[in-house]
């Protein structure tokens, strides 16, 4: 009797197999109503809820209904879904975080490379200007407009300069 009350579990068995084991352990000491109550307590909650509707059905028919529910995964599916739901979003989030970390690292590398390239171009360009001072003493107007210049700034060595043409009044320094 103690074994019946303490150690009988559904485990991997079908509900009808559990009922047979419990009947064997109980012998003639337990009524069908008591056995029904003990047996139902050991079934998954979802199957218990389904079977409580069938009050006037015999215990053997109730066991057959419980087997059908058990075979269809009622009572077990909730656990499997809960396990899947808990691990799947975590795995998805971990994958997304890893992917984002890779993208951020790639963007950082690209930015570092472009800054390095930009600096080297800027430095080399400014060095060229500093290293090669202009040798020409042609004024801005003659560099820009050549012989059509109306103004001239001294010193200007353009052959079209106004100083060479004799208009010294228009020269400015």
pTM exceeding the 0.75 threshold for the entire prediction: no
Give the list of residues 6+ apart from residue 162 with CB closer than 8 angstroms, or none.
151, 152, 168, 170, 171
Q: Which residue has the higher pLDDT, 19 or 171?
A: 19
pLDDT tens digit sequence for 87-128: 577 888 888 888 888 999 888 888 888 776 655 555 555 544
Give the list of residues 6+ apart from residue 163 with CB closer than 8 angstroms, or none.
152, 154, 156, 171
């Amino acid at each position: 009797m103690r074994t019946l009350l303490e150690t009988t579990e559904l485990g991997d068995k079908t509900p009808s197999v559990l009922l047979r084991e419990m009947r064997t352990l109980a012998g003639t000491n337990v009524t069908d109503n008591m056995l029904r109550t003990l047996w139902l307590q050991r079934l998954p909650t979802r199957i218990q809820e389904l079977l409580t509707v069938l009050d006037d059905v015999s215990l053997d028919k109730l066991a057959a209904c419980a087997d059908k529910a058990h075979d269809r995964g009622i009572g077990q599916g909730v656990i499997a879904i809960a396990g899947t739901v808990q691990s799947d979003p975590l795995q998805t989030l971990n994958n997304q975080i890893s992917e984002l970390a890779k993208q951020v690292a790639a963007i950082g590398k690209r930015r570092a490379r472009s800054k390095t390239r930009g600096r080297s171009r800027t430095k080399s360009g400014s060095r060229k200007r500093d290293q090669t001072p202009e040798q020409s003493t042609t004024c801005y107007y003659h560099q820009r407009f050549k012989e059509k210049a109306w103004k001239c700034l001294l010193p200007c060595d353009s052959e079209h300069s106004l100083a060479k043409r004799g208009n010294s009044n228009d020269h400015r320094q």
